[in-house]
Structures are given as structure tokens and as C-alpha cells.
Structure 1
């Protein structure tokens, strides 16, 4: 590939002038000179050596995105509507800011720490890190960090310093309002559907339980529908949960995600259970699937694209040296009513 010195020699001008045109520093360069250089660059199909430029500036122009996700979900994580939309929001902001995005997925925090400590990335975005995980990353990595859905206690926030922010949903409120809507619609036996009880699901479970308690509905351990969500086990596990829903007379399900809610509704159809006539279902996320599926899904909306974009925007601001006004941005959920919930009270009156 032709070098700046070779271009300068061919055009009979200084390497500094050529470099200034290439990098857009043209205040003291004449229009004729700019045109000569640009025309020649186009003629030889010149591509700037980004690595050399970044090395000179001691920057990589790369943002690392680390997703701590169970190994049994690796094979289909990019097809998860939530993850896909969140990454799209991040990538759009990162690209427009002139950076590149590199993703890494692992469920092993030791493996993540080993890689993070050797990466030459300008900043990190961490997804789904629990309290201790994020702190351990911070001890190894001292550049700006943005988290998405990290549950970090107030006493541990100080360990991150100023170059840190967490973007989250008010998950407890999300589940509280979704469950309360099911109860308001006449459901008296409501299950909580999730594939784990960590992080966001732990907070959502608290909201679910609070809604039951405030409405005088007793909770039993059977009400937690523990889904095995691996690609291999999803079908059989969901079939078992739907069978239990029928056997024990559940009339409502609050699902921790739209994806699980839609799988649940599909399995209900296969087992001859009518949704919402026999059992009502509420999801979380308001993904594109929620509106497209039939019956369309009543769900708790969160702006997933914006959540990813906010994390990237905050990280870019920190990389520019800006001090953020706050370390936590908590988005508010909103109930979106569609077809998967029926008003049992109204139906009984009729």
C-alpha cells in the first residue's frame, strides 16, 4: 500500500500537507491543494492505516462489549430479540462516534477477567453483570465502563470511581405493574415464569410477590415456573410447565420476557388451552414479536434500543473526558395492553 511519504513525493509537496488533508486538518491548506491530494487518493484507492494512527494517539478506537450469559444460551443468544435490539442500539452510537464494537460472550467471570486485562479497548460495556462480577472487572480494567442491567449496591458504587454508569429498567416496578394488571383483570392464581432468579429476575420476582401480597393472594413455591431455556430443553420444559398450569388451575402468568411468554402461549395452543380465555399472559420487553404474534402479547414495555444507545452514549462521553451527572439511569416501564389478557371479572358478569 502506498505511504504518505510516497504520495507527497509524487505530488511534490510535504508529507505534513498530505497528512493534514487525509485527516481533515485543512484550515491552512489551499482548496487547489486539497483537490489535488483528494483526487490522487481516489485514483490510487488509498486506505488510511487506522492501526498506525491509533497507535500514535495511544487509542484503539474499539469499544468492548462483554455479555455474561450462561454457556447453554451461547448458541442462540444473537437471535434473542432483547439482546439483538440492545446491541443494535449500542452499535449505532459507537459507529457514529467513529469507534468499532467488539463483542465477547462468556459465563466464566475468570475467563472474562483474563481477556479484559489484555484487551487494548478504549472502553467497556458490561451486560448482565452481578454485583461482585462488575467489581472484579473494575479491579482489572481502569478505563471507562458502562453497565447494562448490572445490580450494584450503593456501597459498592464507590469502587468504580467517576468513570462508570449503569443503565437499567425499574424491574421491580415492571413486574409489580404487570402482575397487578393480571390480578385486576380477575386472575387469582398467577405464576412467575423465568429461567433464573438472578439480577433482573430477582428484582422482578420481588415486584411480582409484592403485587400478590397487596391483593391478598398467597404465594407457594409451585408458583415459580422455572424454565430450562436451553435450545435442547426449551420445548420439553415449557410443555411440562403448561401441563402444570392446567393441572393446578393457573389463570395468569407473568413472564420475565416476551420470548418466554410467546413460547408459553404457543405450547398452550398445542395442548388445547385457550389464551386468554382460560389463562392470561403478560410479558416484558415489548419486542417486535409481542405485536406480531397472535394473540398479540400484553407486555411491559421498555425501550431496549434506547437502553443500549444510552450505555454507548454515556461511555463515549466519558471517553471525551466529560464527567457524568449520575451513575445510574433507571428507565420506567409502561404497560402495553393487547390481546393476551382477558378481563375475567367482566366475563363472569356477562
Structure 2
């Protein structure tokens, strides 16, 4: 393959001139020479040596994306629409910067740190991390890092995080159900940490503000078992008659539960209203389509990548904590209880 030096020799010019044309700095080169260099590039099908360029700038040209996912919940975390959208968006924005993305998924933070430490990356994006994970990463990793959806309380180190207002989302979707006439509302999630905890606390806030009673039985702790959803679906079915509405901590669970309950003969939303969180493809594929809390995962990914590159380049990256807005998307999975009561009274 022809080199910049060889092209310069053939054209009787300097390597700097050829390099300027290759890297788009044509304003520093005469139009005649620009055309000559471009013709030579096309003739020899020249491809820039990215490794050499990165070596010269002391950069690897690689961004690491590490995700911690519960082995009990997923046999393949990337199948989750939220994870898939985030990975795809991060890769696209990283590629637009002229970089490559390396992905690592594990349920073991020690394994993640050990593997990622061996990568020659310029920065890291981290998803699914709890407080203790963040503390270990801060101790072991000396690379620029940006977390996604992290809630680290009472830690002694500074960290950068991009997320959404999960608590507000949980509160607003609960208020929506209450305004629709529901009082017996359950919250379903497979944990009560981080993101799901914030969504749960928003649910509690709304119940308290409305003067509605709450007890621990209103939180249905789902027990995932990899790809086998049967236990989760049975848990939901066993409690479905105790409530008029389910709030699921994700569209992923809401869609599975909605379909299963319909298969078992329940009418949705006439007998049970179901809402989700995320507004991903699951919410639009099921019937009735899910009312849910919208978050812009692609925009979250874009901001995450931008912040990381600002840190890498020692530039101002703005606030340490970026919180994107959420809003309710109303579809067909919620019964308006007061409308039904009104029509009955009228009759």
C-alpha cells in the first residue's frame, strides 16, 4: 500500500502537504495540489493508517462500553430493547468521532474490571453499576469514565453520570393511574436498587400525596430466571385480581405480563390496567399498546458520548449529573375507572 511519504515523492511535495489533504485541511494547500493528491489517493486506493495516527497522538481510538447485567435476569442482555438501543446509539456516536467501540457484558464486577483493565481504551462508558461497583471502578480504573443511570449515594469520589428523572417518571405514571380512578395499584420490579428504586419511590410519593394506603404487599418482587419467564408470569397472575392496575418498572416486563394475562383469559384493561416504563418497541408491539413513561435512550447515549470525549480532550463537559426529562405516552392499556362509573350512574 502506498504511503504518504511515497505520494509526496511522486508529486514532488512535502509529506505535510499530502497529510493536510488527507485530513481535510485543504485550505493550507493550493487547489492544484489538492487535485493532484486526490487523484493519487484514488489511483492507489489509499487508506489512512489509523493505528499509526493513534500512536502518534498517544490514543488507541477505542472506547470501552461495559455493562453489568444480572445473570438471573438475562441469558442475553443485548436482547433487552433498552440495552440494544443504547448499544447501537453509543456505537454510532463513537464511530462518528472516528473511534471504535469495544463491548463487555458480565454479571461480575470483578470480571468486568479485570477484562476492561487489559483494554487499551481512551475512555469507558458504564451501565448497570451499583454503589459498590462504582467504588471499585474508581479505585481500579484510571481512564476517563462516564456512567449511565447510576445512583451512587454517599461516595467519596466524583463521578459523571447521564440519566433521567426516574423518580419523577414513577410519580407521574402513578398520578396518571390515580387520576384515572385507580386506588389499588401494585409496583412490579425484579429489584429495589438504583433506577428501579427511584421509580418505586416516585410511586410511593404519588400514593402518599393522594392519601392512599400502601403496604409491602403492593410491591411485587419478580423472580427472574434467565430466559425462562414462567415464574415471573405466574407471580403476576397470582396477584392480578388483588389490584386494578400494575406499574411495571420496564416495558420489557410489562409486555410479557400483559400478553400472558390475556392468554390466561384476563381482559386488559377492563379487568386490569398495565403500564410500563421506557417507551421502547415492546410498548408499541403489544395489544393493547402500553401506556408508559418515555425516555430518549438515543439522546442519552449521545450526551454520554459527548461528555466522555470532552473529558478525554480535557474540555469543559458541563455538569457531573445530566438528567434528561421524561413524560407519559398515553396508549390503550389503562381503563378510565371514573368514566365507567359515570356511565353506570347515568344509566
TM-score (norm 2): 0.91
1:205 positional shift: 1.6
Match of 1:243 in 2: 238
1:220 positional shift: 3.4
1:276 positional shift: 0.7
Structure with more relative contact order (C-alpha pairs < 8 Å, separation 6 or more): 1
Does structure 1 retain, via aligned residues, the 8 Å contact 2:74–2:225? Answer: no
1:26-76 CA-to-partner distances (Å, cap 9, x unmatched) read 444322222222212211211111111101110112211111111345543
Match of 1:86 in 2: 86
1:24 and 1:141 map into 2 onto residues whose CA distance is 35
Q: Does 1:303 find its partner at 2:267?
A: no
Q: Does 1:228 find its partner at 2:228?
A: no
Report which stretch shifted further, 321-330 or 27-36. 27-36
1:343 positional shift: 1.4
1:274 positional shift: 0.7
1:239 positional shift: 3.0
1:285 positional shift: 0.9
Cα root mean square deviation, aligned: 2.1
SS of structure 2 residue aligned to 1:285: coil
Match of 1:176 in 2: 171
Match of 1:336 in 2: 329
Tell me: CA distance 1:16–1:213, structure 2 relative to 1, closer, same or farther (3 Å). Answer: closer
2:37 and 2:227 map into 1 onto residues whose CA distance is 58
Match of 1:3 in 2: 3
Tell me: CA distance 1:229–1:192, structure 2 relative to 1, closer, same or farther (3 Å). Answer: same
Does structure 2 retain, via aligned residues, the 8 Å contact 1:74–1:105? Answer: no
2:133 and 2:214 map into 1 onto residues whose CA distance is 31
Report which stretch shifted further, 326-335 or 254-263. 326-335
1:231 and 1:113 map into 2 onto residues whose CA distance is 23
1:345 and 1:15 map into 2 onto residues whose CA distance is 77
2:40 and 2:223 map into 1 onto residues whose CA distance is 60
Q: Does 1:291 find its partner at 2:289?
A: no
Aligned pairs (5 A) from 1:64-213: 64-73=64-73, 75-153=75-153, 155-156=154-155, 159-160=157-158, 164-213=159-208
Does structure 1 retain, via aligned residues, the 8 Å contact 2:246–2:274? Answer: yes
SS of structure 2 residue aligned to 1:24: coil
1:122 and 1:232 map into 2 onto residues whose CA distance is 34
* Structure 2 residue ranges without an equivalent (≥5): none
Does structure 1 retain, via aligned residues, the 8 Å contact 2:254–2:275? Answer: yes
1:302 and 1:229 map into 2 onto residues whose CA distance is 24
Does structure 2 retain, via aligned residues, the 8 Å contact 1:148–1:168? Answer: yes
1:260 positional shift: 0.9
1:28 and 1:312 map into 2 onto residues whose CA distance is 31
SS of structure 1 residue aligned to 2:160: strand
Does structure 1 retain, via aligned residues, the 8 Å contact 2:148–2:304? Answer: yes
Q: Does 1:318 find its partner at 2:296?
A: no
1:185-207 CA-to-partner distances (Å, cap 9, x unmatched) read 22232111112222111111222
Aligned pairs (5 A) from 1:52-63: 52-63=52-63
* Structure 1 residue ranges without an equivalent (≥5): none
Tell me: CA distance 1:42–1:74, structure 2 relative to 1, closer, same or farther (3 Å). Answer: farther
Tell me: CA distance 1:5–1:140, structure 2 relative to 1, closer, same or farther (3 Å). Answer: same
Task: Give aligned pairs, total.
Answer: 343
SS of structure 2 residue aligned to 1:147: strand
SS of structure 1 residue aligned to 2:142: coil
Tell me: CA distance 1:37–1:275, structure 2 relative to 1, closer, same or farther (3 Å). Answer: same
2:72 and 2:17 map into 1 onto residues whose CA distance is 55
SS of structure 2 residue aligned to 1:325: coil
SS of structure 2 residue aligned to 1:159: coil
SS of structure 2 residue aligned to 1:67: strand
